[in-house]
Structure 1
Amino acid sequence: MINSGEFAKRLQKVIDHYDETASGFAERIGVQRSSISHILSGRNKPSLDFVMKVLGAYPEVELYWLLNGKGFFPPNSSLSNIQTDPLESNTTQHSRLPIEPKSNTEIEKIVIFFKDGTFKSYTP
């Protein structure tokens, strides 16, 4: 479950990084200004559609970071964010996938999310 307060802080970080106003940000992602205000204040939780619009307008924003704060933002600022996920210490800069799985771990499913909001699921 997404922590609304923490999500709002990350969303504000995105807005600040791109030197946007809340109104300009809302216009760029295609939502009403009140939607931004309500999410930033913690009144509303972000919908999947909202998150996908942010990722569509700002492809440099990583989904995993936006949703739960793990990963890096802005891009190429790996030293500015503290890694809190133990798996991230075994990741590559580009894929963010574990290099070696934990012992006795098998892949159950692979899901790929596309920027247009669709996804594809693979089961080995």
Structure 2
Amino acid sequence: MRERIRQIMENENLTPAKFADKLQINRANISHILNGRNNPSLDVVARILSEMPYINSEWLINGTGEMYKRGFDVNSIPLEHDLFHQSPAPSHQEELRVEKKEASEVIEAEKRTQPVETKSVVVNENREKKISQIIIYYNDNTFETFLPQSAK
């Protein structure tokens, strides 16, 4: 079954991480399955068949029959894009739609921005520091407070 899972990932151009994310399972589970450390659990098989209802369950579980259910158009699978499997260039209309959307997002962001106020802060570093009190805590939960002569 490991090789069939690998074949699904390859056909749909999914990395192990993207495949795990698509199935909403821990990425380590997929890694362990692909490395042969673990066999796929019933939960993993159920999630594959739930998230990819076009996969033939007989093929996934037993390796018999075709990978995709009868009548399924393989070209209708939305592939994940990567550097090696680029999608065709978008149409001119699609480019215009994206540019218009980006422009409206920029305008909305500009509306949300607020002017920046600049204020200068004056730090007086020549302040003379004087002790106002000293508190000593003892291990029997008592304490004493000492005040300088000028504060008494």
> What corresponds to 2:21 in structure 1?
27
State how 1:1-124 maps to structure 2 within 5 Å: 7-74=1-68, 75=72
Q: Alignment RMSD, CA only? A: 1.5
CA drift at 1:13? 0.5
Q: Could you tell me how far 1:64 is from its partner in structure 2?
A: 0.9
Query: 1:31, 1:59 → 2: CA distance?
Result: 17
Please report how far the alpha carbon of residue 73 of structure 1 lies from its aligned counterpart in structure 2 after TM superposition: 1.4
Equivalent-residue separation in structure 1 for 2:11 and 2:44 (angstroms): 19
Task: Report how far residue 40 of structure 1 moved.
Answer: 0.9
Q: Aligned pair count?
A: 71
TM-score (norm 1): 0.54
Larger radius of gyration: 2
- TM-score when scaled to structure 2? 0.44
Gaps (5+ residues) in structure 1?
1-6, 78-124
Structure 2: give runs of 5+ residues left out of the alignment.
Answer: 75-152
How far apart, CA to CA, are the structure 2 residues paired with 1:30 and 1:8?
Answer: 18
Separation in 1, partners of 2:73, 2:2:
22
2:31 is matched by which residue type in structure 1? S
